[in-house]
Amino acid sequence: MAQFVLEIGTEEMPARFLLGLAQEIKDLFSQRLNAEKIKFDGLDSYVTPRRLVVYISDLAPCQDEEEQVITGPPVKIALDENDKPTKAGLGFARSQGVDIQDTFVLETDKGKYLAVRKKVGGADTYDILPEICVQVISALTFPKKMRWAGDFTFGRPIRWILALMDDKIVKFKIADVESNQLTYGHRVLGPGPFTVGSAGDYFQLIENQGRVVLDFEKRKEIIRQKGDELASEVNGHIAWKEDLLNQVANLVEYPEPVLGRFDSKYLELPQEVLLTSMETHQKSFGLRDEQGQLLPYFLTTINIEPEDLDLVRKGWERVLKARLEDARFFWEADCKTPLNVWLDELEKVIFLAPLGSMGDKSRRLQRLAAHLAELTFPDLEKDLARAGRLAKADLVSEMVGEFPDLQGIMGGIYARLKGESEVVSRAVAEQYLPTGHNSPIPRTREGALLAMADKMDTLIGCFGLKMIPTGAADPYALRRQALGVIRIILGHNLSLSLSELIDYTFAGYDNVEWKLSFEDLKQELLNFFGQRLKAYWTGQDYPTKVVDAVLGAGFDHIWTAFARLKALVKFAQQDYFEQAVLTFKRADNIIRKQGEKLGEELTGDFDLSLLEEPAEKNLAEKINELVPVWEKLWADEDFTGLFELLLELRPVVDEFFDHVMVMCEDKKLRLNRLNLLFALTSRLSRLADFSALQV
């Protein structure tokens, strides 16, 4: 069995390019090797800013060989009445590269066909690898690509390619770069080039002579371990952030943590400002004491083993000092500025040209946030109105102008500093949450309501202007905004009507030339929320057909729809689920098909005196018996109990279908029986769309 190593050497790639690249190249190689029927035992991948590596162990020297039966034309076409080959038969043999004597007659369920047995596979792996490498490298995806050496595109220009199967060079060419057995190490600590004798020698050489730490997890562990050791020397703890640690580990090939210090006078600044200065601009971590307060230290990671560590440390400290000095200037200037000055400035800041200024948006948020509080937590109504008005004030502050990541956060700090209530301050601080799929939702009620108001205002405005996401294009992050509304509703158990929320939000806009009518806007936005709900729930491993069934029954109250989803998932796990679905789907199908042909609207009101068969009388009696129970369970949102009621109904419905002809000749009797079924299905349709449950 052979060993194979591929190293694609590039100019430094951004850290954000690397996170998914190792898994992608691993998956692509696995797919291609399996497709070519080449066996292997282990497949690993590694990424650093300057290289992408694949290592395959115990690689089979050749493809698996197997026999295939290839079917040709029917015998009646391939052979004449004397069993002599016709032109069709001879042509088939020739196309398969065999003599006509090597064909045989294959009997199938559809008749007799001329066929041939052929052995496929068995080619040398070494001969197949060049094509696999070219296909995989060409298929890799990046957030952005660079074009060079003609029309070839990649994350960054490729500078060398190492490709070895044991000690043999796997020869191929990408753009103007040919594969060979040379590798390059760390730019400073072990630049190379180095000749790799065989695939198995690669790792020891690149680590010892090239001074490169290939493994991403190992680089993270080095940073974490050495960072904790340095922090303990000053009685502190690193304020680790996993996202930042991932980024830093992908910025270096040889991580060397360094502890720096800054003047304690800067600790007067809010902690959020200090951490943002360190993390965003310097890719460094702050340190905290046992009480959680920041210490005047920071941890950074360099990509070298310096001769003079103190000199390097001073350089980092000097840069951070300049950042913190700017931050202190902005902080002091902002502290002197009254909130009303910022509110006046918002009139000059455009939200979206046709939708007015940020001042206009803040007044809409004032109205909408207060309305949401009135519907959910009336005690917050006054504070939410104030929070809505102040929500965007920090956008014109000096601090947010320099550190945009602090918008909202600084607004909350400034609101508290300038005498606003804690409720107002917390709401303003949390208004942008969640900022992504894995971001936390607002922790407080007030933050949740203001965040919803902000997101709904943006969604209505953009949809009304026909700025609706298409494909991958979503410049205003509307998918994220809608998902944020969904997560907030579910996370805070808010019983709100999405339809009414759209109505009220739209009413807050004045003098806008919309590109969609309100009816079209509302339908588009409801569909959009339905798509986001489906993606969100299926992404949480809820079965697609169950999600479709719940959404098909309506999702105007998202929290209620989620309660129905959980109850239906539980119901779907029961042994009787499939039979129950078939029964109620049959009832639903009859109403859907026959109700349209009837020419009259079904009401669910049926005449007991028109019931003839015992089975339909039993069904009517059961429906009348269960209706009060059903309505009580529905009012209590006991959806598990509602699905359990179906167990009582199913035998009676089955009996009805077994003994009653719904579509009988008597029109009056037919209408009464359809209304009897409609009395059942109209309630079932509020619970789930049973037609979506394919079983």
Report pLDDT for 607. 84
Nearest to 333 by CA among 269, 421, 277: 269
Backbone angles phi, psi at 610, to 5 degrees: -90, -5
Report pLDDT for 595. 62
Measured CA to CA, the distance from residue 26 to residue 48 in angstroms comes to: 15
Measured CA to CA, the distance from residue 484 to residue 478 in angstroms comes to: 10
Measured CA to CA, the distance from residue 602 to residue 433 in angstroms comes to: 46
Report pLDDT for 285. 97
Report pLDDT for 645. 86
Neighbours of 400 (CB within 10 A): 21
Report pLDDT for 597. 65
Do the bridges between strand 177-180 and strand 158-165 make them parallel or antiparallel, or are there none, so unpaired?
Answer: parallel
Low-confidence stretches of the chain (pLDDT beneath 50): none
From residue 208, alpha-carbon distances to 205, 213, 301 in Å are 5, 9, 21
Q: Over the stretch 48-61, which tens digit does the pLDDT of each residue have?
A: 999 999 999 999 88
Report pLDDT for 695. 56
Length of the chain: 695
Q: Taking the CA atoms of 627, 628, 630 and 634 in sequence, report the sign of the dihedral they define.
A: positive
Nearest to 424 by CA among 384, 374, 473, 484: 384
